[in-house]
Amino acid sequence: MKPVRIGLLGIGTVGGGTFEVLKRNREEITRRAGRHIEVAWVAARDLDRARAIVGPDIPVVADAVAAVSDPDVDVIVEVIGGTTVAKDAILRAIAHGKHIVTANKALLAIDGNEILSAANTHGVMIAFEAAVSGCIPIVKALREGLAANRIEWIAGIINGTSNYILSEMRTKKLPFAAALEAAQRLGYAEADPTFDIEGIDAAHKLTLLSAIGFGIPVQFDRAYIEGISKLTDRDITYAEELGYRIKLLGITRRAPTGIELRVHPTLIPAGRIIASVDGAMNAILVKSDAAGVTMYYGAGAGAEPTASAVIADIIEVTRLMQAEPEERVPFLAFQSDALSDVRILPMADVETSYYLRVRVKDVVGVLADIARTLADAGISVASMLQQGAGDADNETDIVILTHRTRERNFDAAIAKLVQMPTVRPEYARIRREDLG
């Protein structure tokens, strides 16, 4: 059978890994796909660097957008990232009837509805396993393995850089800045690490998980996003003393009044398996009605782990190329005319429990005053403790774990607490999830 010809957009970390694994495992991949998979050409900005990687036999082109209309290719593999050239190239490729494999979570989270609708119109496939957590086959699991289930929630460590930073802060008692520096030295964090540490990268991935978990359009603009840059090692230590670990979690949940879509630092019980996922690794929990809780773990980034997902998608596209569009698995797991418009809840309407640290004057009655303020707001305290004796200023930290309450309610109570003359205005408030 005629080989499948691919145009590879980008030969950086993921593109280079894809090229290498396609070459190394060529026979094994052909046995699975039923046809040879050939790289027809590579599009790259740095032509010399690209030629040094792919060798003399594969053409290297500079203009990715122009190249995608090549009648000699069946599949465009987009691993350049970003939302400009990548978007133009993908839309043009779709218009020319090419199937798409992409690792581009930002593009799909932001412009996914437009891109998926264009793919539907032109009857081509768009596959994006590599966009969420590198090698972990979570898109496949949600779209196919768990297809019998009503998904209740998905919660995951889906940014390796921030997980590495939090692990370093906890195990080596490092402040945030030092842990970030270590991540940068190891090449985990980008030179501008904002997307990693401010939760944006995790929110891109969570947006896609939410769409395929619940059969809703992608809605990145409705995601609540809070990163780890304001976390202190003090709170990590207190959380540990209380039997918790702090992780940057992406959480999406079907609540009675809408869907939660949120990324933020989260206290989770130290005994949960996901709490011990350290370093740059990713892990995702899915709670569904028939299967119960399932967990997916692996490398969320890196050349070959991400290439593993890219190539799995190329193989799937190869197998299904001759099938009619309605015989293929829908991009968002649900039939495109069956997507639901259930709303994404604003964070103020989300219900969860909390860790609160306030700094107070160590005087008689302060604990009672705090407890009364919370009780007046209908907030039930699960535990409350004073951390350490008062210091030279006669101030001390009070740490409170609450039961579940609505965020709006909790924020209103904090606003009252910090107006008390015995309570300092700075505080730490971290959400807490049981994940049971």
Phi first, then psi: what are they for 247, rounded to 5°? Answer: -130, 150
Helix, strand and coil content of the chain, in percent to the nearest 5, comes to 40, 25, 35
How many chain residues touch ligand HSE (CB under 6 A)?
7
Judged by CB under 6 A, the residue of 10, 16, 112, 160 near ligand HSE is 160
Judged by CB under 6 A, the residue of 18, 104, 159, 352 near ligand HSE is 159
For residue 138, state whether it binds ligand HSE (rule: CB under 6 A): no
What residues from 295 to 314 belong to the interface with ligand HSE (CB under 6 A)? Answer: 300-301
Phi first, then psi: what are they for 283, rounded to 5°? Answer: -155, 145
What residues from 186 to 225 belong to the interface with ligand HSE (CB under 6 A)? Answer: 196, 201
Selection from 71, 77, 112 nearest residue 318 by Cα: 77
Phi-psi region of 278 (alpha: psi -120 to 50; beta: other; left: phi over 0): beta
List of long-range contacts for 25-32, beta carbons under 8 Å, 24+ apart = 25/311, 29/311, 29/315, 32/315
Q: Which is nearer to ligand HSE, 200 or 315 (CB)?
A: 200
Q: Which is nearer to ligand HSE, 73 or 208 (CB)?
A: 208
Catalytic position from the list 205, 230, 287, 361: 205
Q: Which is nearer to ligand HSE, 130 or 345 (CB)?
A: 130
* Known catalytic membership, residue 205: yes
The one segment of 25-33, 158-166, 243-251, 322-330 that binds ligand HSE by CB under 6 A: 158-166
Selection from 230, 168, 239, 160 nearest residue 202 by Cα: 160
For helices 85-95 and 105-122, the axis angle rounded to 10 degrees is: 20
Give min distance, CB of 188 to ligand HSE, in A.
Answer: 6
Q: Which residues pair with 100 in a beta bridge?
A: 76, 126
Judged by CB under 6 A, the residue of 18, 102, 104, 161 near ligand HSE is 161
The one segment of 154-162, 240-248, 250-258, 289-297 that binds ligand HSE by CB under 6 A: 154-162
Q: E strands of 305-378, at which residues?
A: 351-361
Give min distance, CB of 132 to ligand HSE, in A.
Answer: 8
What residues from 63 to 122 belong to the interface with ligand HSE (CB under 6 A)? Answer: none
- Active-site annotation, residues: 205
Q: Which residue ranges make up the site for ligand HSE (CB under 6 A)?
A: 159-161, 196, 201, 300-301
